[in-house]
Amino acid sequence: DPTWPSEIDELEEIMFQLASFRARKFADTVSPCGNEASGPGRLNAAEWLRTAFHDMSTASLYFRAGGLDASLQYELTNGENKGPGLSATIEFMARYLSRKSSLADLIALGVYMSVRSCGGPAVPIRAGRKDATTKGSSGVPQPENSPMMFEQQFDRMGFNVEEMIQLTACGHSIGGVHSEQFPDIVPSGTGRNGQIELDSSAAVFDNRVVTEYLNGSTKNPLVVGPAVKINKHSDFKVFNSDGNATVKALTDPQTFQDVCRKVLQKMVEVVPPGVALTEPITPYDVKPVNLQLTLTGGGRVLRFTGYIRVRTTMIHEHSIESVTIAYKNRDGESNCGSGGCTITTTVQGVGQGFDDTFAFFPIKENIPASTGISSFAVTVNYVDGSHEYYDNNGKGYPLQDAVLLQLPQSCLLGSSGALTVTAAVRNDRVSGGARAYASYKTPQSNSPSPRLQNATIDLAKGDCVGEYTLFSTEWSVPGGLAYESRIDINNGDYSDSFKSGGDFGGTCRPFANPAPCGGSSEKPTSPGPVSPTVSSPAGSPTAYSSGISSNRRN
């Protein structure tokens, strides 16, 4: 496993938590492969794969520019990116755009999704691409181009003739050519649902595009039919450019899959200079998911929630009896007050990716706020009595309790973006204050994807309750996509980060039964009676927090 937390955590979830419990549903429109989620004759998986090629194919090694950088979002009307599939792909993926998952990385991930969903190889995906902010050069290969021009274009992208042929054969393993965009290649009424498929198994990632081309049975409109006379039979021109030597080598099905894995990986790794890609994203064996500490019990208790996700691909999930979490207190010691330092949990749900299954073990534990938590280790206990110990590569899974987002006292209205954010800061860290860092999306008129923006918001100090002090403020998330925003709460080097706006409720609740500041024996420094519900005019949140009145909107 990578050491947790890691920069790829968000993409890892999007890539592998596809279905069932805690699914991110990124593959929903491309799985199964034949899914025509956008309408008849439109194979979404094929649209995703073509999107990646069109984004990448304007790269220039000579000018050290372009590549998989999501510049396609600004190039959709330039004449060489025809068809609704490209914008539909970007629009779908944009919902997953965040500061930890660039649109360019999502487009790369889309290659893995579409190809794997269609029975093709698992293309390794590295992360770290950056999104362009304006359009790049033109230069997507067009069917009418000469063989020489195709060679030059692929050479510009970094592919030799053999790789050009391989990549085009791999790409054209799924999908078809559409009448609406290419009426001279597929005259209206000649296809099924407005398109003719590139091979006889358009919804299977296999080498029929090659074998049918070689044995003369192909109906590929980029090889035979009206395209020939008007010189738009580009697959013929490409496949034939080395006398069919390369395509002949692809007639072995396994070779086809291996070659496609290699050239498709190369395709998604054509990136502008300055982009450093990570190691390929692989699923963790054990991963903490959605961990949250919440101050409760009047300020004396930390409610610890979330999941331990265990990869069960190689084993039956019922072979795991339980998972034990052994945690250390705030000082790194094994003194955790009344509850002891261990939590045992049994499976709550299972989820799947294309090749992996996961069991989720819920955490619902109260930790004394006086002793807190700093890290934990995980033991997977099997039914047969054996155990496996995971300590995050010797480091323990870290969890800070210095600054916490208080979801119950925070709220967000999707319609107006009205946000109340409340944090709890441990009393010994109060001088560091609390700041929210909001990453949010605003629409762009020239792209189907919104753009990421960010803002830093200071939280104002409120009541001290038990071991913690509450901080709160109100803000308005611009852009109309508030639920897709992400919030970090920072206190110096400590951060409770990447909290989804979608997890915020619509109503803020008061901090119940506030304990006296500093501990049970002391008198409260501020009496902090719980404020009554403030009913707000339509469109603004019902703000509600413990004695914090200075920041109220109304």
Residues that bind ligand HEM (CB under 6 A): 43, 46-47, 49-50, 53, 83, 85, 141-143, 150, 167-168, 170-172, 174-178, 181-182, 234, 238, 267
**Which residue's CB is nearer to ligand HEM, number 152 or number 446?**
152
The two tokens of residue 316 are 């039956």
Of 7, 11, 6, 21, whose CA–CA distance to 309 is shortest? 21
Residues ≥6 apart with Cβ < 8 Å to 487: 405, 421, 436, 437, 438, 439, 499, 501
Beta-bridge mates of residue 452: 441
Q: Rounded CA gap, 400 and 303, in Å?
A: 13
**Which residue's CB is nearer to ligand HEM, number 259 or number 286?**
259
Residue that the structure tokens 């592998």 belong to: 16
User: Long-range CB contacts (< 8 A, 24+ apart) of 176-184?
Assistant: 176/41, 176/43, 176/46, 176/202, 176/221, 177/221, 177/222, 178/41, 178/42, 178/83, 180/83, 181/82, 181/83, 182/82, 182/143, 182/221, 182/232, 184/226, 184/227, 184/230, 184/232
Minimum distance, C-beta of residue 110 to ligand HEM, in the bound complex (Å): 11
Minimum distance, C-beta of residue 224 to ligand HEM, in the bound complex (Å): 14
Residues ≥6 apart with Cβ < 8 Å to 386: none
Q: Are the C-beta atoms of residues 554 and 536 closer than 8 Å to each other?
A: yes
**Which residue's CB is nearer to ligand HEM, number 55 or number 467?**
55
Minimum distance, C-beta of residue 254 to ligand HEM, in the bound complex (Å): 19
**Which residue's CB is nearer to ligand HEM, number 90 or number 399?**
90
Minimum distance, C-beta of residue 45 to ligand HEM, in the bound complex (Å): 8
Beta-bridge mates of residue 365: 304
Burial 452-481 (b: 16+ CB within 10 A, else e): beeeebebebbbbbbbbbbbbbbbebebbb
Q: What are phi and psi of 286, to 5 degrees?
A: -130, 130
Minimum distance, C-beta of residue 20 to ligand HEM, in the bound complex (Å): 28
- β-strands 195-197, 286-296: how paired? unpaired
Terminal alpha carbon distance of the chain: 49
Minimum distance, C-beta of residue 49 to ligand HEM, in the bound complex (Å): 4
**Which residue's CB is nearer to ligand HEM, number 57 or number 427?**
57
Minimum distance, C-beta of residue 177 to ligand HEM, in the bound complex (Å): 4
Q: Rounded CA gap, 156 and 167, in Å?
A: 14
Q: Kindly compute the dihedral angle of the four CA atoms of residues 40, 45, 48, 50, in this order, to the nearest 10 degrees.
A: -80
Chain centroid, CA 287 distance in Å: 16
Minimum distance, C-beta of residue 142 to ligand HEM, in the bound complex (Å): 6
**Which residue's CB is nearer to ligand HEM, number 143 or number 353?**
143
**Which residue's CB is nearer to ligand HEM, number 85 or number 396?**
85
**Which residue's CB is nearer to ligand HEM, number 107 or number 267?**
267
Minimum distance, C-beta of residue 127 to ligand HEM, in the bound complex (Å): 20
**Which residue's CB is nearer to ligand HEM, number 150 or number 390?**
150
Rounded to 5°, the CA angle 424-429-434 comes to: 50
Minimum distance, C-beta of residue 208 to ligand HEM, in the bound complex (Å): 14
**Which residue's CB is nearer to ligand HEM, number 150 or number 361?**
150
Rounded to 5°, the CA angle 245-250-252 comes to: 130
Which residue's CB atom is positioned nearest to ligand HEM? 171
Would you call 269 helix, strand, or coil by DSSP? coil
Minimum distance, C-beta of residue 94 to ligand HEM, in the bound complex (Å): 19
What counts of helices (H) and strands (E) characterise the chain? 11, 21
**Which residue's CB is nearer to ligand HEM, number 208 or number 426?**
208
**Which residue's CB is nearer to ligand HEM, number 27 or number 301?**
27
Minimum distance, C-beta of residue 353 to ligand HEM, in the bound complex (Å): 22
Q: Rounded CA gap, 499 and 510, in Å?
A: 20
